[in-house]
A and B are shown apart, each in its own frame.
Chain A
Amino acid sequence: MRTKNFQKQLVPYLFLLPGMIFLSVWLVYPMIQAMNISLHDWEIMPGRTSPFVGLAHYLQASTDPLFWSALRNTAFYALVTVFGQLTLGVSIALMVDRLIRGQVIFRVLYYLPVVTSWVVVSLLFKYLFNSSPAGFINYLFVDVFHILSSPVPWLNEANTAWVAIYSLGIWKGVGWTMVIILAALQLLPEECFSAASIDGANDFQSLIFIKLPLLLPTIILVFIMLTIGAVQAYIQVALITGGGPLHRTDVILSYMYYLAFNDLDYGYSSSLSFILAAIVFVISQAQLRLQRPIEMTAGGN
């Protein structure tokens, strides 16, 4: 009787086992190791020792201007691209939702950037924003729209390079946001609207007071996922500007990568890994807390 019960208890753990082995070896252990590595001046060459340095790397991060600039860049990138994707995605979804015909076509077209590889689109935007007068964006702004008087060396300066990188980030994700909001819209119960229009509410009012509040949980979820995605930015920066010039377009991940694989400073780079993981932990905790109450208020309708 005892062993049978024990065996029964064991079953869920057995189902978890293969997945958990992978998680433990390649995610949990590296997380712990990130802390360990960050406490040393880690050497990867065979035959060399890695001296223990304690919290020196974390102190180094706190006084490293490149770290703070990377953090700032990441924050701004997240701010701009999340805002852009959200506003555009929601607006487009609202419009598509109202269409009688063509919903599917628009869904497909807007989603194309989402399914295209980051490597390909980064190279594409690098080409479009080329500094020469024949770079497409330069041609467009100078010769077609006459907004600029002369071609801009987009990728040579941080400020203008951000234009290219932000546009890419927004362009790539609008479709994703749109599709999710659209699905949420289509799940909204009809009764709310018919009741409202009987009461004489026009479309705009229906939008503000009914649709958006009902969409709120989804919008918040999308917001959080977009933010997490934005923090993960790496390929677009690495391929378009390489973090330059002079590390000015580095985001936290590209700076971390540079430290480890160009400077061979694995210890310091690991400390950044750990700091980033801690930030994600905080965000994920916040999300878990936020989701419960919102689901309850929205569901009550």
Chain B
Amino acid sequence: MKKSHILISIVIITITLLSACTSTPAASAEQKPEIETVVVKETVIVEPTPLPEGPVTISFWHTYNETSPESKMLNETLIPMFEEQHPNIKIQALSVPYEDFHRKLVTAIAGGVAPDLIRSDIIWVPEFADMGALVPLDEAMSDFADYQNSVFPGPLSTNFWNGHYYGLPLDTNTKVWLYNKEMYDLAGIEAPAANISELDGQCQALKQADPDAYLFATDGTFAWTILPWIWSMGGDVLSPDMTTATGYLNGPKTVAAYELWLKLYEEGCMAPVVLGNGVDVWTGFAQDMYANLDNGPWTYPIIQSQFPDKKIYASAFPAGEGGSIDVVGGEDVVLFQQSQHQAEAMEFIRFLLSPEYQLKMAEVGQIPVLADAANSDFMKNHEYYPIFMEQLKTSKARPAHPNWSKMDQIITDAGQLILRKELPPQQALDQAAAKIDELLK
């Protein structure tokens, strides 16, 4: 098909083609309003838009490792399912490593080559929305209210910024206390700690049985890893209205949480991998070096794919003064303003929020956000999801602030300084709180 030369001919032909597309049975009546939107846009844009020459390709970025079970499910089962239902749409799924994701996205946006859709960590949505890079879905999708009502409110709220919803939740997760029964048996530990105060005793018992073992392992001092401890022990990082960190991040209960970490690390109860390098948490767990992890449902498929014989047991995060509180994680799907095929992209969004997709991904460690799917028998009878769903009832979300990534970095660095004994906890946290206050202005 050749490009037209005159704008009006483009518009006319585009309308004709789109109407041709929508007359196929697969398209729903909801397509009609979308066409109007597209046509309006065409008359505003000055450059000629290439005519759809065949299938439209939608790019979708995610952070699943290329060889991971989630990636396989996506590429081998779900995307073909969608493409069969929508022959005119092709999905190009891109695996971008998590630590590069944010940076590459910014590069792409600046270079004008942003993807159509991404599976974004919930903590980035306010930032990108604030940048003006995202499409407010509550305006763009006429059936938004249907989806709004079918998902859990907590995950949905992570998409809200400045009066609009800029995405829809895709999956939610939290972490629980995963324990290694073999190591417990060896050390004579009867049950996982119900309270944080039990950890000390358990560590002693473990060390007696195996001096090289560690009670607990986590792979960094990020907010994601330290927050359960802070919250469960009654502290916090920001004031509820997100105007200050002083008094919270450096408040006595938060300091106590860091002091506990320091103690555990010095006594050899916490594995050195928290400082960045060493045997990773999953290999260590599978090889009976680490007795406990605070980790998410993906742990099961990951460990089982490499170490199929290892059994994993789960219990609630040990409670402290504040209760048993872990962190809510999850991902949202967001649509970029730069997308040339917003209508088709929204079709894919609908698919992502469908029971088929949500339940299939549940098989590979992704907890559904669709209330129906989450309450299904599959989930209720599942090997490990129930404990996560239970923990979700008390888990908290991280502050939804556009500068959160920078604040996370400050918190991470403070944790490093504390564990390396370069600054006493109170001082490190005082400094960190001051820096974060700057970002909250």
A residues within 8 Å of B by Cβ?
44-47, 130-134, 153-157, 244-246, 261-262, 264
| Majority DSSP secondary structure for residues of B touching A | helix
Residues on B with C-beta less than 8 A from A244 are: 276
Residue pair A264, B106 in contact (C-beta under 8 Å):
yes
* Bound CA–CA A23/B279 (angstroms): 47
* Bound CA–CA A131/B275 (angstroms): 11
A-B contact pairs, 22 of them (CB 8 A): A44-B110, A45-B106, A45-B110, A45-B131, A46-B109, A130-B277, A130-B278, A131-B277, A131-B279, A132-B279, A133-B212, A134-B279, A153-B272, A154-B277, A155-B277, A156-B272, A157-B420, A244-B276, A245-B275, A245-B420, A261-B103, A261-B107
Residues on A with C-beta less than 8 A from B417 are: 246
- How many Å from the CB of B345 to the closest CB on chain A? 20
Residue pair A156, B276 in contact (C-beta under 8 Å):
yes
Q: A44-B110, A45-B131 are in contact. Are A132 and B276 (CB under 8 A)?
A: no
Q: Chain B 240-273, CB within 8 Å of chain A: the 1/0 string?
A: 0000000000000000000000000000000011
Residues on A with C-beta less than 8 A from B131 are: 45
- The answer to whether the Cβ of B416 comes within 8 Å of any Cβ in the partner chain is yes
Considering only residues 313-362 of chain B, those with a C-beta below 8 Å from chain A are none
Residues on A with C-beta less than 8 A from B109 are: 45-46
* Bound CA–CA A131/B214 (angstroms): 15
* Bound CA–CA A154/B273 (angstroms): 11
Q: A153-B272, A261-B103, A261-B107 are in contact. Are A47 and B279 (CB under 8 A)?
A: no
Residue pair B112, A156 in contact (C-beta under 8 Å):
no
* Bound CA–CA A245/B274 (angstroms): 12
- How many Å from the CB of A208 to the closest CB on chain B? 45
Additional pairs, 12, CB under 8 Å, beyond known A131-B272, A132-B279? A44-B106, A45-B106, A45-B109, A45-B110, A130-B277, A153-B272, A157-B420, A244-B276, A245-B275, A245-B276, A245-B420, A246-B416
**Nearest B residue to A132, CB-CB:** B279
Q: Chain B 218-233, CB within 8 Å of chain A: the 1/0 string?
A: 0000000000000000
Considering only residues 166-183 of chain B, those with a C-beta below 8 Å from chain A are none
Q: A47-B132, A156-B272, A262-B103 are in contact. Are A246 and B278 (CB under 8 A)?
A: no
- Among all A-B residue pairs, the 6 with the closest Cβ atoms: A44-B110, A131-B278, A155-B277, A156-B275, A132-B279, A131-B277
* Bound CA–CA A134/B212 (angstroms): 13
Residue pair A156, B110 in contact (C-beta under 8 Å):
no
* Bound CA–CA A261/B101 (angstroms): 11
Residue pair A155, B110 in contact (C-beta under 8 Å):
no
Residues on A with C-beta less than 8 A from B272 are: 131, 153, 156
- The answer to whether the Cβ of B288 comes within 8 Å of any Cβ in the partner chain is no
Q: Chain B 96-133, CB within 8 Å of chain A: the 1/0 string?
A: 00000001001101101000000000000000000110
* Bound CA–CA A220/B112 (angstroms): 47
Residue pair B279, A155 in contact (C-beta under 8 Å):
no
Residues on B with C-beta less than 8 A from A155 are: 276-277
Residues on A with C-beta less than 8 A from B112 are: 46
Residue pair A246, B110 in contact (C-beta under 8 Å):
no
Residues on A with C-beta less than 8 A from B276 are: 155-156, 244-245
Residues on A with C-beta less than 8 A from B416 are: 245-246
- The answer to whether the Cβ of B413 comes within 8 Å of any Cβ in the partner chain is yes
Q: A46-B110, A131-B272 are in contact. Are A246 and B277 (CB under 8 A)?
A: no
* Bound CA–CA A46/B110 (angstroms): 6
**Nearest B residue to A266, CB-CB:** B110
- How many Å from the CB of B408 to the closest CB on chain A? 13
- How many Å from the CB of A3 to the closest CB on chain B? 43
User: Which residue, of A131, A154, A155, has the highest number of chain B Cβ atoms within 10 A?
Assistant: A131
Residue pair A153, B278 in contact (C-beta under 8 Å):
yes
Residue pair A246, B413 in contact (C-beta under 8 Å):
yes
